[in-house]
Amino acid sequence: MTFQPNPGERIRINGKAYTVGQHPAAPGLAYAQAGRQGIVYQLIPVEGSPHEAKALKVFFPKFRIPAMVYQSEMMEIYSESPGLQVCKRDVLTPERNGDIIAEHPDLLYAVLMPWVHGVTWFDMIADQRQLKRTDSLSLAKALAGIGSGMEQRGLAHCDLSAPNVMLPFFSEVDLPEKSSAVELVDVEQMYSPKMDRPDVLLTGSPGYAAHRTVQSGLWSPYSDRFAGAIILAEMLGWCDPQVVGKAWGESYFDQPEMQNPCERYFVLKKSLEHHWGSRIADLFGRAWESQDVSSCPTFGEWLVTLSSINEEQLLQREIEVAAAAVKGESEDEDLGADMLALQTDASEAAKAAADAKEKPAATDTGSGTKGQDNGVVNRLFLQAREMEQKGDVKGALEVYRSAHHFVPAGSPMQVELEAAIRGLEDELNPKPQEVETGKIPLYRNRKWMAIGIAALILIGGSGITVNQILADRSESRQKEALASEALAKQQEEAKLAELLKSEQDKQKQAEEERKRKQDEEAAKLAKQKAEKQKLQEQYDKQAKYEAYLAQQKLSQQAKEEEKKRLQEQYDKQAKYEAYQKQLKQQQAKEEAARKAAAAKAKALQQKRSQQVVQLIAYYNQAYNAQKGGNTSKAREYATSFARLYEQDAAYFKSVGKTSTRANGIYKFLANAGYQLPNV
């Protein structure tokens, strides 16, 4: 019977009990994922942790190969390598798993392996989920490290693409320590010098296959270099919203664009150079312009270049962005304090004005200097900002307070941390709003202000004193505002000048680097040309010598053949008659064979015609059963269609709309909710 488990159904394999997992996006359906060669089901251990879940891969009949047992035994030695945990595989065989295979024949040579938690890189691209720069770098370094380790052992995945790259980095399940941020799946086509060549070879996935690759298939230690370069470039470019917005769909590039000049290539390369430097962009360009996969950059080159990127600088930039936001909040609080100071009584006016003047000056001075490179403070600051964004206000407040102990007094970071702490404390313990209670503070009460002014008039003997105080305060505030505005303008002009100079220096360095590379490339080409010419001369000499030897050999052979010719003439007459007789017999046999072959071809054509008619009938029956609401009957007809179709798939694929019907049948078998088209 066909293997179609329900969620929660128990299954025992090799003495251990599992339950079939439920699809998170479709309650009531088994957690299954269809691929090129079969369907993968999630099995959750009855006794064990969630991260110990297994994946049961049930192959389609065409891919149920007995040699899978030997292949899995050879692959198990690679399961300890980073990113290759799915190489720890257990194949279900009739000798060890006869009972369950007898109950479910589709499980013959099925594979049990670790379930990899997390999303695929395909999901990240399809959902257009932009990454942080630090996350982009972490994923790219992890993938480059996996590829470098595989190349050092002579291994290659041979079908590297977005759906086959899993990201436990974003898993919601708690994973063991030292788990890899990236894992590779679908390793049935993996190349190893210790394993046999597969019967069916893949030519790569759309969006990741080089159009210059030999179409006979990929199976060599260099097979992953081009596709790996594309995925690495995607990961590094996914921190740029412009690159994310340009994505084709299921991959960044559309297959016809591969290794051709196109807008997406130039956008991605420019983004890589802007965010990660010219060395990363050059590696991507080498892969894109390569003539074959062996001339693409190695994963080791990618790893060395990525490891040279300073992660502390990336963190510092994120801190500066976060600090700018905190500084804006701090300045708003300072403005509120100044407004409050203006409403105090006349006896404290001078002190309030002085405090209000000193505080912005200190803030402006702090903003113009660079913070100290303190790794602990930086990490605590970023952690608190993330907790604050997630709504964990109490946790963020505690982390801010912890970071406050490590900063020196009077530093810009201390000002920013104190502002953040005050803001969170006000958020956790909000003060009652005075407007809502209807009570007005004394210093805002008009009656009190009139009494105060009258008292000042009586004490001073004249209204000139009050007017003078108010005029002085107004003039003082105007002077402070003008001075602050002039200082801000001066700082802005200085920053612009510094940025302009920095940009000019970068352009100059880039131009010098480009010229240097052009000179190196010209020297390299000249050297290659000279070496090529030298080799050509050696080839010409060798060819002439070989031609001379061939001529001598021919002359010697001619003499020997002349001696044999006379003897052969006497033998030819007798052999000629025997030959004529044998020729007639051979012609008779060939004629009989031709007739038999024609009859066999005719019978085969009749059989195929009948099978095509039967396939159409099965499809129509499945379609009508599904329309009638009889899903189980529709699945039986669909299964019959699939079995008959796979007997001669190469022929059926070219007949009419049989291929269209087959695509619908396979989608229906993989997903019972799929509606068969009316073909």
Q: What is the pLDDT of residue 451?
A: 46
Q: Model confidence over 195-220: pLDDT tens digits?
A: 878 766 677 788 888 866 655 667 88
Amino acid found at 621: Q
Residues 20-43, mean pLDDT to the nearest whole number: 84
pLDDT of residue 422 exceeding 90, the answer is no
Position 37 confidence tier, pLDDT thresholds 50, 70, 90? confident
Q: Which helix (H) or strand (E) holds 20?
A: strand 16-20
Q: What is the pLDDT of residue 269?
A: 95
CA–CA distance, 570 with 572 (Å, rounded to integer): 6
Residue 247: burial class (beta carbons within 10 Å; 0-12, 13-18, 19+): buried
The strand ranges marked E within 74-123 are: 90-91, 111-114, 119-120
Six-digit token pair at 367? 């903003």
Angle at 507 between CA 506 and CA 510, to 5 degrees: 85
Residue 574: C-alpha distances to residues 384, 579, 580 (Å): 104, 9, 10
Q: What is the pLDDT of residue 210?
A: 81
Of the two residues 15 and 316, the one the predictor is more confident about is 15
DSSP 118: S
pLDDT of residue 97 exceeding 80, the answer is yes
Backbone angles phi, psi at 362, to 5 degrees: -65, -40
Of the two residues 248 and 563, the one the predictor is more confident about is 248
Quick one: how far is CA 609 from the chain centroid?
A: 46
CA–CA distance, 137 with 143 (Å, rounded to integer): 10
Residues 136-151, mean pLDDT to the nearest whole number: 94
CA–CA distance, 109 with 60 (Å, rounded to integer): 10
pLDDT of residue 147 exceeding 90, the answer is yes
pTM over 0.95: no
Q: What is the pLDDT of residue 215?
A: 59
How long is the chain? 679
Helix (H, G, I), strand (E, B), or coil: what is residue 22?
A: strand
Q: Would you say 359 and 334 are in contact if contact means Cβ atoms under 8 Å apart?
A: yes
Q: Model confidence over 273-303: pLDDT tens digits?
A: 999 999 999 999 999 999 888 889 999 999 9
Q: What is the pLDDT of residue 321?
A: 61
Of the two residues 495 and 123, the one the predictor is more confident about is 123
Amino acid found at 507: Q
Residue keyed to tokens 């996935």: 205
R_g over Cα of the chain: 39
Q: Would you say 264 and 288 are in contact if contact means Cβ atoms under 8 Å apart?
A: no
Q: What is the pLDDT of residue 320?
A: 64
Q: What is the pLDDT of residue 166?
A: 93
